[in-house]
Structure 1
Amino acid sequence: MRDGLRALFCAVCFVLLLAGCGRQDEPLVRQESFVFGTRVEVLVYGQTPERGNAAAAEVLREFDRLHRSFHAWQPSQLTALNEAIAVGKSLEVSKELAGLIRDSQAVAERGDGLFDPGIGRLIALWGFQNDEFKAQLPDPARLAEWQAARPSIGDLRLNGRRVGSRNRMVALDFGGYLKGVALDHAAALLKARGVHDALINIGGNVMALGSKGGKPWRVGIQHPRAPEPLASLDLRDGEAIGTSGDYQRYFELDGQRYCHLLDPRTGAPSRDTQAVTILLTPGAGDEGRTEGEGNIGMRSDALSKPLFIAGARWLEEARKLGIDQALRVDAAGTVYVTPALQARLKMEKSDVKLVVSALPLE
């Protein structure tokens, strides 16, 4: 697990290494914290130190509020709902939680169920609902019980703010979703404070506002097997990148890597992909979305999961989701990139096998 934490630290550092470089006299404020199980960083440009620090601090407080309110295994609104579902009861939840459930249900449906925040019990069985996890496989009997029940966030029923489930095995875990929600909250808070030039990074999920002194924010995409960037690109105003990788939360047993990205179809960690990065521009991937799904940060986080879990079918999944800028590193280390993203990338590693792959026709 120490290797995973080291890779996590490097991933965040390299994402912002390119974005944060500059003169010491630049009007750039930086604050960081450790939230959502990862290192987060907020960069504010063009403000006085007082205004910039106040805005960044407000963002970090909001991150902490979201983390505590919707924690999957420490007492929170989410654990209270999961406990009620487990005993066959419904629960009236906050307006905010009801909205998160509706939005995540819509995204899960669009992603063919490959992204499913209703598999919290499965995540716990694999030991990933802990700050530190052991290198051990889940109990076969309990895993078989979960697979037989096939719980899904689609099993939840909302009546206003009252939530119940027809399947008692459903347990919510917003680990693959909440970081993107937090990006959207951060952008709204910064704009409300008059900050229009900023970069927000939550463990490799990044959103750009405005520019850095008239120049785009330049960020790196972490190499999944080396402490260095695989590629870099300029982020424009309102764009967000979401990355899912097997190098942050994982354990190794008998030479096999088991990551926290679980396939709801099999109940096991996905093994065909090392990393997926998607780039969303304002308006991209909007086809068939709900109003809540329009939040670009949330979608950049959630929609990278179906592409990761789809494995070799990642391009088909990308087409369904309206994503035309994506990169995938497969289990062998080959880098596949769509033409639209390849046109914007600068490859930082020259020794990788790069394949430009067009989206399939409908």
Structure 2
Amino acid sequence: MRWLILLVVFVLAGCGQPQTYSQESYVFGTRVEVTIYGAPQALAERVTAQVLRDFDVMHHSLHAWEPGTLSRMNGIFALAPAQAAIAPGMIPIIQDATRYSIQSGGLFNPAIGNLIKLWGFQSDHFEAKLPDPALIKQLVAENPKMQDIVVDGIMFHSTNPAVRVDLGGYAKGYALDMAAAYLRSQGIKNALINIGGNIIAIGQHGDRPWRVGIQHPRKPAPIALLDLRDGEAVGTSGDYQRYFELNGQRYCHIIDPRTGWPAQGVQAVTVLISPGPHAGTLSDVASKPIFIAGVAGWQAAAQKMGVDKAMLIDANGKVHMTAAMQQRLNFKVN
């Protein structure tokens, strides 16, 4: 499973400063980096190793199509109204993703896994090929939604056999929140966690904030810099990592549940989320409905998601942003 790598992180260690410990891995189908500042080496090594182990467990558990907890659930959904026992850890995830889906007015809809598969994006390698429009129309008409999933005690089932959950727009953010909570519980005061461009900050890097660069959607360089405050999270959705082109048209992995087709008219959306226990999750989720809503509806979508700091780059490269986001971005990138 490949995930979007959408932000460039700048971690600059100066001479004579307390130690910066950083370790990279490849989890969730993307590059993952944990950077800890000012902690004893042994502690930094121990907690980072645990975070990466936790990420690996989450990756296998939440994978939509490889064998794991979620893929087994999807198999039960297909047999609706058959039911089975649910893994306890999945209950809050399903409930949380359902709440966000309702909040977004259905633009964030993890239940459309069949559509994502039809477009070929449930794969590490996909080809430039359009699905049969009749099949797209059929899957849209089946109207799978998170509200179709019923959890009753330790049992779960779906009232709609078309439901197939794909948490590709949720899992990275959820993992950020879990990792940040764990690091804080272990006494880590300053850290930066980056999962393929979804990033959360703990404390700061010495006497300055953690600084990240927001990737330009059409150039191999950041379009702006952003200083993250303690507990803030940032996430970007774009059309430039998981996509294919056919007859001059770009088709990205962000599917509009209303039409069954990849969203058009937007190159990238970045959101900055205020500190809170679910900041990481919201940074992953909120960018999707804003992207799908497009130039005409992005502000309303951001408001629905409770996001006041958002930036959208349209198909022509024009930058749109909220006033609160404009105050935080530095476009003077050398």
> Could you state the TM-score of these two structures normalised by the residue count of structure 2?
0.95
Instruction: Pick one of 156, 161, 169 that aligns with 1:168.
Output: 161
Equivalent position of 1:39 in the other structure: 31
Q: Contact conserved, 1:119 with 1:153, CA < 8 A, in 2?
A: no
1:157 is paired with a residue whose SS is strand
Instruction: Pick one of 315, 318, 333 that aligns with 2:317.
Output: 333
1:206 is paired with a residue whose SS is strand
**Structure 1 outlier segments of 4+, above 3 Å:** none
Equivalent position of 1:291 in the other structure: none
1:107 is paired with a residue whose SS is helix
Distance verdict in 2 for CA 1:184–1:230, change over 3 Å:
same
CA deviations over 1:161-191 (Å, ceiling 9, x no partner): 3211111010010000000000001101211
Equivalent position of 2:94 in the other structure: 101
Q: Does 1:296 align with 2:287?
A: no
Instruction: Pick one of 162, 183, 186 that aligns with 1:193.
Output: 186
Give matches, 1:48-87, under 5 Å: 48-87=40-79
2: CA distance, partners of 1:118 / 1:161: 20
1: CA distance, partners of 2:332 / 2:262: 29
AA aligned to 1:22 is A
1: CA distance, partners of 2:106 / 2:332: 34
Q: Does 1:306 align with 2:289?
A: yes
Deviation at 1:320, TM superposition (A): 2.2
Q: Does 1:342 align with 2:326?
A: yes
2:56 is paired with a residue whose SS is helix
Q: Does 1:144 align with 2:126?
A: no
AA aligned to 1:187 is A
- Provide the aligned length of Structure 1 versus Structure 2: 330
1: CA distance, partners of 2:110 / 2:166: 5
> Could you state the TM-score of these two structures normalised by the residue count of structure 1?
0.88
Q: Contact conserved, 1:229 with 1:348, CA < 8 A, in 2?
A: no
Which structure's residues are more often helix, by fraction? Answer: 1
2:89 is paired with a residue whose SS is helix
Equivalent position of 2:171 in the other structure: 178
Identity across matched positions, percent: 49
AA aligned to 2:66 is Q
Deviating more after overlay: 318-327 vs 95-104: 318-327
1: CA distance, partners of 2:290 / 2:333: 23
Deviating more after overlay: 252-261 vs 87-96: 87-96
Equivalent position of 1:260 in the other structure: 253
Equivalent position of 1:290 in the other structure: none
Q: Contact conserved, 2:137 with 2:259, CA < 8 A, in 1?
A: no
Deviation at 1:137, TM superposition (A): 1.2
Q: How large is the RMSD of aligned CA atoms in angstroms?
A: 1.7
1: CA distance, partners of 2:304 / 2:59: 31
Instruction: Pick one of 116, 127, 136 that aligns with 2:120.
Output: 127
Structure 1: runs of 5 or more not aligned: 284-293, 351-362
CA deviations over 1:49-92 (Å, ceiling 9, x no partner): 22212211111111111000111010011111111111221121
Equivalent position of 1:358 in the other structure: none
1: CA distance, partners of 2:238 / 2:121: 14
Deviation at 1:348, TM superposition (A): 3.8
Structure 2: runs of 5 or more not aligned: none
CA deviations over 1:87-133 (Å, ceiling 9, x no partner): 22112111111110000000000001000110111100000000111
AA aligned to 2:246 is L
Deviation at 1:24, TM superposition (A): 5.7
Q: Contact conserved, 2:211 with 2:228, CA < 8 A, in 1?
A: yes
1:164 is paired with a residue whose SS is strand
